[in-house]
Chains A and B, each alone.
Chain A
Amino acid sequence: MKRAVITGAGVVSPIGTGKEKFFNSLQKGTPGISKLSLFDASTFPVRIAGEVKDLDFNGVVRKYPMAEGLKDRKVFFGLAAFEEAAEDALLDNLLLKSRRTGMVLGLALEVFPIEEFGSFAPADNSGIGQFLEIARSKKTVLQTPLDTTGSLIAAKYGFRGPLYTNCSACAASTQAIGQAMEMVRSGELDVVIAGGMDSMLNPLGIGGFSLLGALSQRNESPEAASRPFDAHRDGAVLGEGAAILIVEELEHALRRGANIYCELSGFGSSLDAYKPTDPDPDGSGAAKAMQDAIKDAGIIENEIEYINAHGTSTPKNDEVETMAIKKVFGQKAYGIPVSSVKSMTGHLIAASGAVETAACLMGFRAGYIPPTINYNKPDVFCDLDYVPNHAREWNGNYMLKNSFGFGGQNASLVLRRWSKQ
């Protein structure tokens, strides 16, 4: 079997656009959550989020004129992260056109632009029939299909390889990276552009998720709202962003002298088969994903030296994840650092797995693992070492990355320090 390595990364996040800025913020433990500024949320139960503040949208449109006018922010995040990753990995046009280069992108759901539809409302309040007629007559296509980002990249670069659009909710981009690894290891592809993008920071995204009761309502102290594993956590905070990783076959990467961040050595994918809204309280689905990834990497549990958690900051999820980690690692769980990037970025839904995998690269590159910020009071049920509040020096060999999604889809990856042996 061939080996898969990561040779490029691009990140757009609430704590910085571009991986250098992102790594820098992670190392400092910078909070990225603030008051929502994208629309007037003053009557909403949730008024805070992790917004991307420093992306040059016009710069993206100059490169991708066809993106002009699109209402869906995640498309721009995805394109920007792709551009950075492709440049980082020195992917030339020949490689981008090759049938042996694939793309797997993870996304969650389409944006329903309710304010656009709202603008169709008939002035005389003449009812829904009139509304439909106006909506119909606008002739604009208000939907942005989930394959739009991949489609724009394909059109610009003449991309011809397989393009997968994975909509597995919060597990989507971790699955995307796992699938990329498998297609490289099987010899089917040499290079895969893999990752995810998301933004739910629109009225129906924030509104819909706040109705579920899954979001923190700590509106008065946004920077402290996302506090995974802390006893006073009260819900997730939505964030937005994207990360693209270039997954490449090892020999192919060595031949062209590519810069190697780490090896991708294991992938696990499972389903809770429990409830659409809640994780299985016994954590067996999550444990299964971790166990499968570890087994796939050809190692034993004891060799994992860091776990990058899903860690959403909801009361239930963090407890179940902790339980699942103990299920897999037994007593050894207490000796493994576990941290959640969501404490800084918020929950990037479908993009979270890719952005957090990119955060793991900092461990191999700079020798630091990211902290869990806002961690003040230990929870009885969450009693592991969560790398509280300060990044930690790290020089281990194996990391485990978890993502567990709405609908019970779970995915885990094992990352390995790359060495020539």
Chain B
Amino acid sequence: MKNRVAVTGLGVLSPLGAGIKETWARVIKKESAVFKASFEGCGLFGHSMCGSVAEFNPEDYIPNRRLLKLMNREALLSSAAARLAIDDAHIEGCYKPESTGLFIGSGLTSGEPDYLLPLIENSIDENGNFSYGLLGSKALPGCNPLLSFKILPNMALSYISILFGIKGRNMAFNPWPGNTLQAVGMAMRAIESGAVDCALAGGCDSKNHFIGFTTFSNLGLLSRKGISSPFSQESDGIVLSEGASVIVLENYDMALKRGAVIYAELSGFSTLTDPSGTGYISASSETMAEVMNNTISDADINAGEVDAVIAGAASVRQSDIAEASAIGKVFGRSTPLVTSFKPLTGDMLAASSAFDVCIGSSAAAKGEIPAILSNADPEIDLNFSFSGGEVKTVLINAFEPGRAKTSLLLRRAQ
């Protein structure tokens, strides 16, 4: 008999602010936080529109100054999100460190331009050629000896463990939104099986800088207009962003016993791979539909009971078409409300799906979900609506970029 899983803490850090209350208020008002950024080299792109976590003071969340110096942006954001989640759940001291799990997704390595660029500069000889000799004799000795720890993608997980004393089952995931949703799914399975009683799960990413813009523009995935408008005629690619979200999950009965406020029950999870396409965008509606169907049956409900879908909504046209068609296949005439917060936040990539779990949990608790999308592309066959009524059950999709297609199902606590 598997244990039920409760969502009891939400830690959100996004361009829309810090904490679930502030974030929810701004999502409801449909406030966009996508702005023109100014990073070194930003003029080389058609635009510099992206989401940024502004007014973020890591010291507000992380008392250990020595650790602060070692942490990279993703580690800072995710540790702060973990602090918010733990406070929101009022969970400190409730579970043994060994009975608490940790499952964190991180994004493509962006490196730390501040460290990497001087390394390159110092390795160039007088003729302008790259020299291994100079790299070894001049560039490396002048560089931060802890460079590797600024790049290792498991560091976000490691710092959360150190800062909050988490010692149980753990795993680090990489690099796409679907992989971060796997982290939440694995945390759910670990509680279901009794491997842990409580877990922190989530993801972090930061691509609102030169390396992020270069990578996504070279992949042909960067929006040329700098506007994220999934399922609409305007959509032409991804708007980069950054953020971190961490969720506290607990054994449902234990959460009830300690009198926790339960946002939602996490009751369905599925992940599959799509072998078609490029590895970044595969746009296969069959796989997407299969993952959604599996998730709904994992939760032991019917498609008709799903009130809202937080779509993957990559804002890449062929991908949106595939997801729209997949949603149509799964729900037939039951037409749930379909929403996405990417127009407001940009695509936080490996952090986006964890953000969606936070907003979805809050929505299940409040009984309503912010409807953000409008202006459907007349050429996309939308078999669903962008507005709706009471929300008890929410399906979350994390589909693209990446081959890992993952969905999760949340429902109001009963």
Determine if A119 and B218 form an interchain contact, defined as CB atoms under 8 angstroms apart.
no
In the complex, chain A residues 59-91 whose Cβ is within 8 Å of any chain B Cβ: none
Q: Answer whether residue A163 sits at the interface, using C-beta atoms and an 8 A cutoff.
A: yes
Inter-chain CA distance A119–B124, complex, in Å, is 9
**Contact pick for A43, options B129, B133, B153, B170, CB 8 Å:** B133
25 contacts between A and B (CB under 8 A): A43-B134, A43-B137, A109-B153, A110-B151, A115-B132, A128-B117, A133-B41, A147-B174, A151-B279, A154-B274, A160-B275, A162-B272, A164-B173, A166-B171, A166-B173, A167-B106, A172-B172, A207-B140, A208-B148, A211-B147, A212-B146, A288-B98, A406-B152, A407-B158, A409-B170
Determine if A168 and B172 form an interchain contact, defined as CB atoms under 8 angstroms apart.
yes
Determine if A118 and B154 form an interchain contact, defined as CB atoms under 8 angstroms apart.
no
Of all A-B residue pairs in the complex, the 3 with the closest CB atoms, nearest first, are: A118-B130, A407-B158, A43-B136
Determine if A163 and B273 form an interchain contact, defined as CB atoms under 8 angstroms apart.
yes
Q: Contacts A141-B218, A212-B145, A285-B167 hold; do A271 and B161 have CB atoms under 8 A apart?
A: yes
Q: Answer whether residue A57 sits at the interface, using C-beta atoms and an 8 A cutoff.
A: no
Determine if A157 and B275 form an interchain contact, defined as CB atoms under 8 angstroms apart.
yes
Q: Contacts A212-B145, A269-B170, A406-B152 hold; do A109 and B109 have CB atoms under 8 A apart?
A: yes
Give A78 Cβ to nearest chain B Cβ, in Å. Answer: 14
Q: Answer whether residue A161 sits at the interface, using C-beta atoms and an 8 A cutoff.
A: yes
Q: Given known contacts A108-B153, A203-B136, what 18 new A-B pairs fall within 8 Å (CB)?
A: A41-B136, A43-B134, A43-B135, A108-B154, A122-B128, A141-B215, A155-B275, A161-B272, A162-B272, A165-B175, A182-B193, A211-B147, A269-B170, A269-B171, A270-B169, A271-B167, A285-B167, A407-B152
Give B167 Cβ to nearest chain A Cβ, in Å. Answer: 5
Q: Contacts A114-B135, A273-B97 hold; do A407 and B157 have CB atoms under 8 A apart?
A: yes
Q: Answer whether residue A159 sits at the interface, using C-beta atoms and an 8 A cutoff.
A: yes
Spot the interface stretch: A252-260, A274-282, A395-403.
Answer: A274-282
Determine if B98 and A270 form an interchain contact, defined as CB atoms under 8 angstroms apart.
yes
Q: Answer whether residue A366 sits at the interface, using C-beta atoms and an 8 A cutoff.
A: no
Determine if B148 and A211 form an interchain contact, defined as CB atoms under 8 angstroms apart.
yes
Determine if A132 and B41 form an interchain contact, defined as CB atoms under 8 angstroms apart.
yes
Give A110 Cβ to nearest chain B Cβ, in Å. Answer: 4
Inter-chain CA distance A49–B135, complex, in Å, is 18
* Binary A-proximity of B158-194 (CB < 8 A = 1, otherwise 0): 1101101111111111111001001000100100010
Give B271 Cβ to nearest chain A Cβ, in Å. Answer: 5
Determine if A143 and B167 form an interchain contact, defined as CB atoms under 8 angstroms apart.
no
* Binary A-proximity of B15-37 (CB < 8 A = 1, otherwise 0): 00000000000000000000000
Q: Contacts A141-B219, A145-B108 hold; do A165 and B154 have CB atoms under 8 A apart?
A: no
> Which residues from chain A contact B182 at a C-beta distance below 8 Å?
162, 164
In the complex, chain A residues 98-116 whose Cβ is within 8 Å of any chain B Cβ: 99, 103, 107-110, 112, 114-115
> Which residues from chain B contact A45 at a C-beta distance below 8 Å?
136
> Which residues from chain B contact A213 at a C-beta distance below 8 Å?
145
Determine if A110 and B161 form an interchain contact, defined as CB atoms under 8 angstroms apart.
no
Inter-chain CA distance A210–B106, complex, in Å, is 25
Give B78 Cβ to nearest chain A Cβ, in Å. Answer: 13
> Which residues from chain B contact A39 at a C-beta distance below 8 Å?
132
Q: Bin chain B's interface residue count.
A: 35 or more
Inter-chain CA distance A107–B109, complex, in Å, is 13
The total of chain A residues at the interface (CB under 8 A) is 88
Inter-chain CA distance A152–B278, complex, in Å, is 10
Q: Answer whether residue A44 sits at the interface, using C-beta atoms and an 8 A cutoff.
A: yes
> Which residues from chain A contact B56 at a C-beta distance below 8 Å?
none
A-B contact count (CB 8 A): 261
Determine if B146 and A129 form an interchain contact, defined as CB atoms under 8 angstroms apart.
no
> Which residues from chain B contact A132 at a C-beta distance below 8 Å?
40-41, 44, 210
Q: Contacts A169-B154, A271-B168 hold; do A41 and B117 have CB atoms under 8 A apart?
A: no
Inter-chain CA distance A79–B108, complex, in Å, is 21
* Binary B-proximity of A134-163 (CB < 8 A = 1, otherwise 0): 011011110101111011101101111111
Determine if B218 and A139 form an interchain contact, defined as CB atoms under 8 angstroms apart.
yes
> Which residues from chain B contact A145 at a C-beta distance below 8 Å?
108, 174-176, 279
> Which residues from chain B contact A208 at a C-beta distance below 8 Å?
147-148, 151
Q: Answer whether residue A272 sits at the interface, using C-beta atoms and an 8 A cutoff.
A: yes
Give B24 Cβ to nearest chain A Cβ, in Å. Answer: 31
Determine if A128 and B167 form an interchain contact, defined as CB atoms under 8 angstroms apart.
no
**Contact pick for B165, options A99, A186, A273, CB 8 Å:** A273
Determine if A112 and B151 form an interchain contact, defined as CB atoms under 8 angstroms apart.
yes
Determine if B119 and A136 form an interchain contact, defined as CB atoms under 8 angstroms apart.
no
> Which residues from chain B contact A288 at a C-beta distance below 8 Å?
98, 167
Q: Answer whether residue A123 sits at the interface, using C-beta atoms and an 8 A cutoff.
A: yes
* Binary A-proximity of B110-140 (CB < 8 A = 1, otherwise 0): 0100001101110110011111111111001
> Which residues from chain A contact B117 at a C-beta distance below 8 Å?
128, 131
Q: Answer whether residue B228 sits at the interface, using C-beta atoms and an 8 A cutoff.
A: no
Inter-chain CA distance A110–B109, complex, in Å, is 7
Inter-chain CA distance A122–B135, complex, in Å, is 17
* Binary B-proximity of A160-185 (CB < 8 A = 1, otherwise 0): 11111111110010010001001000
Q: Answer whether residue B102 sits at the interface, using C-beta atoms and an 8 A cutoff.
A: yes
> Which residues from chain B contact A161 at a C-beta distance below 8 Å?
272-273
Inter-chain CA distance A378–B194, complex, in Å, is 42
Determine if A175 and B147 form an interchain contact, defined as CB atoms under 8 angstroms apart.
no
Q: Contacts A147-B404, A186-B193 hold; do A140 and B106 have CB atoms under 8 A apart?
A: no
Determine if B272 and A270 form an interchain contact, defined as CB atoms under 8 angstroms apart.
no
> Which residues from chain A contact B176 at a C-beta distance below 8 Å?
145, 147
Give A235 Cβ to nearest chain B Cβ, in Å. Answer: 14
**Contact pick for B155, options A112, A146, A276, CB 8 Å:** A276
Q: Answer whether residue B370 sits at the interface, using C-beta atoms and an 8 A cutoff.
A: no
Q: Answer whether residue B70 sits at the interface, using C-beta atoms and an 8 A cutoff.
A: yes
Determine if B274 and A160 form an interchain contact, defined as CB atoms under 8 angstroms apart.
yes
Q: Contacts A133-B41, A207-B136 hold; do A163 and B403 have CB atoms under 8 A apart?
A: yes
Inter-chain CA distance A217–B134, complex, in Å, is 19
> Which residues from chain B contact A407 at a C-beta distance below 8 Å?
152, 154-155, 157-158, 161
Best-surrounded residue of B102, B137, B171, B214 (most CB of chain A within 10 A): B171
Determine if A273 and B130 form an interchain contact, defined as CB atoms under 8 angstroms apart.
no
Q: Answer whether residue A40 sits at the interface, using C-beta atoms and an 8 A cutoff.
A: yes
Find the A residue at minimum CB distance from B294. A99
Inter-chain CA distance A166–B140, complex, in Å, is 29
> Which residues from chain B contact A155 at a C-beta distance below 8 Å?
275-276, 279
Q: Contacts A129-B41, A132-B41, A271-B166 hold; do A179 and B155 have CB atoms under 8 A apart?
A: no
Q: Answer whether residue A124 sits at the interface, using C-beta atoms and an 8 A cutoff.
A: yes
Inter-chain CA distance A40–B127, complex, in Å, is 18
Inter-chain CA distance A145–B109, complex, in Å, is 8
Find the B residue at minimum CB distance from A188. B189
